[in-house]
């Protein structure tokens, strides 16, 4: 066990956990932030995506010790009222079916738009290819990202 200082959604907090614990399980089990989802545990599906220092990262495969003091944003920290432009675009296009992967999709989209405010369709496809949606809402995801880029 070790005490690790985390900067999550603008809040500094210390957790006392096995330093090898993936960030995902610290978020979900210790901090009650369950928006990031467990899908594969090996960075293959993107359901656990959060943003660290501006980059989309797979929290299921990042030991918590490696993210100490780094600026981390989860879906819960994206906006106070669910009105981040990407969230709004997701609602406008009524993207979700089951919804399980969508927090990860949204975080990947936010990271993409942070780097490329006006991505081409090809750039969207490349950036979003790591996030599986088993319900197959890919076209709406792409459309929502285009809408968010325009807003």
Partner 1 sequence: MNTKTSRRAFLKVSVLASGGMLLSFNSLLLGKSFTREAMSLSAESFELNSFIKIATDGTITLMSANPEFGSNVKTSMPMILADELDVDWGKVTVEQADFYPERFQRQFTGGSQGIRLGWKPLRTAGATARRMLVEAAAKTWSVPVEEITTESGMLYHRGSGKKAGYGEMASLAATLPVPKDVQLKKLSALNIIGTSQKNVEGKSIVTGKPLFGMDYKQDGMLIAMVTHAPAIGQAIKSVDDKAARAMPGIKDIFTINTLRDDYERNAFDTTTFTEMVVVVGNTTWEVMNAKKALKIEWQLAPEKKIMVKGWGGSTQPVVIPAGLESTVTHKAKMKEMSAKPGNVLRKDGDPEGAFKTAAKIIERTYTAPYLAHNTMEPVNCFAHVTAEKAEIFGATQAPEFIMQTLVARLGLPKEKIHIRLARMGGGFGLRAYCHHILEAALISQKVNAPVKMVYTREDDMTYGIYRPTYTATYKAGLDEKNNLIAFHVRGGGVPEHAVHANRFPAGAVDNYLAEGWEINSNITIGAFRAPRSNFIAAAEQSFLDELAELAGKDPIAFRLELLDRAKTNPVGKNNDYNPDRYAGVLKLVREKSNWDQTKPNISRGVAAYFCHNTYVAEVVDLRLDGNKPVIEKVVAGVDCGIVVNPDAAANMGEGAIVDGIGNVLFGEMTFKDGVPEKNNFHQYKMVRQKDAPGAIEVHFVKNEEEPTGLGEPLFPPIFAAVANALYRASGKRYYDQPFEKQIQVNRSRM
Q: Where are the alpha helices (DSSP H) in the chain?
A: 23-25, 85-92, 102-115, 121-128, 138-150
Please, what is the minimum distance in Å from the beta carbon of residue 133 to partner 1? Answer: 7
Q: Take residue 54 and report the two structure tokens written for it.
A: 């501006």
Q: Binder to partner 1 among 7, 61, 65, 97 (CB under 8 A)?
A: 97
Nearer to partner 1, 55 or 98 (CB): 98
Contact 131, 101 (CB under 8 A): yes
Q: Take residue 78 and report the two structure tokens written for it.
A: 């994206």
Q: Take residue 76 and report the two structure tokens written for it.
A: 């819960």
CA distance 76 to 109: 15
Regarding 57 and contact with partner 1 (CB under 8 A), the answer is no
From 13-21, 51-59, 65-73, 112-120, give the range in contact with partner 1 by CB under 8 A: 13-21
From 32-40, 51-59, 65-73, 112-120, give the range in contact with partner 1 by CB under 8 A: 32-40
For residue 39, give the DSSP letter. S
Contact 35, 74 (CB under 8 A): yes
Regarding 35 and contact with partner 1 (CB under 8 A), the answer is yes
**R_g over Cα of the chain:** 15
Sites for partner 1 among residues 98-137 (CB under 8 A): 98-103, 106, 124-126, 128-137
Q: Binder to partner 1 among 54, 82, 114, 117 (CB under 8 A)?
A: 82
Q: What residue ranges bind partner 1 (CB under 8 A)?
A: 1, 17-18, 21-22, 25, 28-30, 32-42, 44-45, 47, 74-76, 78-79, 82, 87, 90-91, 94, 96-103, 106, 124-126, 128-142
């Amino acid at each position: 066990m070790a005490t690790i200082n985390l900067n999550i959604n603008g809040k500094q907090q210390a957790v006392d956990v096995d330093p090898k614990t993936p960030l995902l399980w610290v978020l979900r089990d210790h901090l009650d932030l369950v928006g990031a989802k467990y899908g594969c545990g090996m960075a293959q599906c993107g359901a656990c995506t959060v943003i660290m220092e501006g980059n989309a990262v797979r929290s299921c495969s990042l030991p918590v010790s490696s993210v100490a003091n780094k600026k981390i944003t989860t879906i819960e920290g994206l906006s106070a009222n669910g009105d981040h432009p990407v969230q709004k675009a997701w609602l406008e296009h009524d993207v979700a079916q089951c919804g399980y992967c969508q927090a990860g999709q949204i975080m990947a989209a936010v990271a993409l738009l942070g780097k490329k405010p006006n991505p081409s369709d090809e750039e969207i496809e490349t950036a979003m290819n790591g996030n599986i949606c088993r319900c197959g809402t890919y076209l709406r995801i792409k459309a929502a990202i285009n809408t968010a880029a325009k807003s």
